[in-house]
């Protein structure tokens, strides 16, 4: 439960986001998305979409994030230790993907991503019948990734400050706000934390949709099959 932000705001974020996912599911259950864009270059073999380091990072991050949340608030030190582990994983991720794979540009939103998102939005609202092929990362995924960077930074700063200077869990509840500084790190931590939980639920939802199973398999086993890639994706943008 939130300790700084009003419950209505914190839980409201989860409710609104879940409501959107429920509406999305209903819509796509009655009208599935069918790709209308012709394939450009066809793949002749299976493609490695995620290497071992990327997959290991992804699943290790999943486990650590679950533990970060399940450990809180009873075990603040455990929460802090897992948060530190998460920071370590992020260092590995940045070093590998940006330093080794030179893949920073893949996560940066482009104009084409906005066009695709607009067309998908129109299709969702029955304004257009066309539906674009998917890239490895679409606009939502790229924005989610940008939010993760901002969110982790904000959560780290507010979390470290609380741990060192405003440990409200060490005082009786009605004294929380007497040790809280004017910039309200607890409130900021709560709002960013609950937004992160909402987006992670969205991430899990979209990952488990049948339409995205090829990418989910690729995140598990590394490869995406030639047939799947040619059917729904832009093969050039899967690598």
Partner 1 sequence: MSLSRRFGGVAHPYRTAIALVLLIIISTSSSGVFASATVEPHYTHCCLPRGAGHGPIPTSISGITDEYEIVIVNNRNVSMTGVVVYFPAGFAFVNASVGGGGWVTTILRDQSGIPAAVSWNGSRILPGANATFMLTLHNPTVGLQLSGVYDFLVAQLYVNALPDGSRDPVEIIQPIRLFGIDSSALAFDSIAIVFVLIALQLVLPRRKL
Interface positions with partner 1 (CB under 8 A): 1, 4-8, 11-12, 14-15, 18-19, 21-22, 25, 28-29, 32-33, 173-174, 177, 184, 186-187, 201, 204-205, 208-211
CB of 165 to partner 1, least distance (A): 18
Closest contact distance (angstroms) between CB of 196 and partner 1 is 14
Comparing CB distances to partner 1, the nearer of 34 and 95 is 34
* Closest distance to partner 1 from the beta carbon of 81 (Å): 26
- The long-range contacts involving 43-48, CB below 8 angstroms and separated by at least 24 positions, are 43/226, 43/229, 43/230, 43/235, 44/226, 45/226, 46/223, 46/224, 46/225, 46/226, 47/223, 47/224, 47/226, 47/229, 47/235, 47/238, 47/239, 48/222, 48/223, 48/239
Which is closer to partner 1, CB of 97 or CB of 138? 138
Pick the closer one to partner 1 by CB: 113 or 190: 190
Kindly state the DSSP code that residue 177 receives in the 8-state scheme.
Answer: G
Closer CB to partner 1, 27 or 223, in the complex: 27
How far from each other are the two terminal CA atoms of the chain, in whole angstroms?
40
CA–CA distances in Å: residue 69 to residues 26, 109, 188, 210: 29, 29, 16, 27
Q: Minimum distance between the CB of residue 107 and partner 1, rounded to whole angstroms?
A: 25
Which residue, 90 or 201, is less far from partner 1 as judged by CB?
201
Dig out the tokens for 148 from the structure: 């993760």
Q: Is 172 helix (H, G, I), strand (E, B) or coil?
A: coil
- Least CB distance to partner 1 at residue 5 (A): 6
The nearer residue to partner 1, 7 or 236, going by C-beta atoms, is 7
- Report in angstroms how near the CB of residue 26 gets to partner 1 at its nearest: 8
Going from the C-alpha of 218 to that of each of 32, 104, 141, 222, the distances in angstroms are 22, 20, 16, 4
């Amino acid at each position: 439960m939130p300790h700084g932000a009003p419950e209505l705001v914190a839980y409201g974020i989860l409710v609104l986001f879940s409501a959107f996912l429920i509406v999305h599911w209903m819509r796509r259950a009655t009208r599935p998305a069918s790709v209308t864009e012709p394939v450009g270059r066809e793949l002749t073999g299976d493609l490695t979409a995620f290497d071992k380091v990327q997959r290991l990072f992804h699943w290790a991050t999943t486990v650590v994030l679950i533990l970060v949340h399940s450990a809180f608030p009873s075990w603040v030190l455990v929460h802090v230790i897992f948060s530190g582990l998460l920071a370590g994983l992020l260092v590995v991720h940045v070093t590998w993907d940006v330093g080794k794979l030179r893949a920073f540009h893949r996560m940066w939103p482009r104009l084409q991503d906005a066009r695709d998102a607009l067309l998908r939005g129109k299709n969702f609202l029955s304004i257009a019948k066309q539906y674009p092929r998917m890239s490895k990362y679409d606009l939502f995924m790229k924005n989610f990734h940008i939010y993760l960077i901002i969110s982790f930074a904000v959560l780290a700063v507010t979390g470290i400050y609380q741990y060192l200077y405003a440990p409200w869990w060490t005082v009786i509840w009605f004294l929380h706000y007497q040790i809280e500084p004017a910039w309200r790190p607890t409130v900021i931590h709560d709002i960013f934390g609950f937004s992160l939980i909402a987006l992670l639920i969205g991430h899990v939802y979209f990952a488990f949709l049948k339409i995205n199973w090829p990418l989910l398999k690729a995140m598990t086993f590394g490869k995406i099959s030639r047939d799947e890639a040619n059917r729904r994706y832009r093969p050039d943008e899967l690598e």
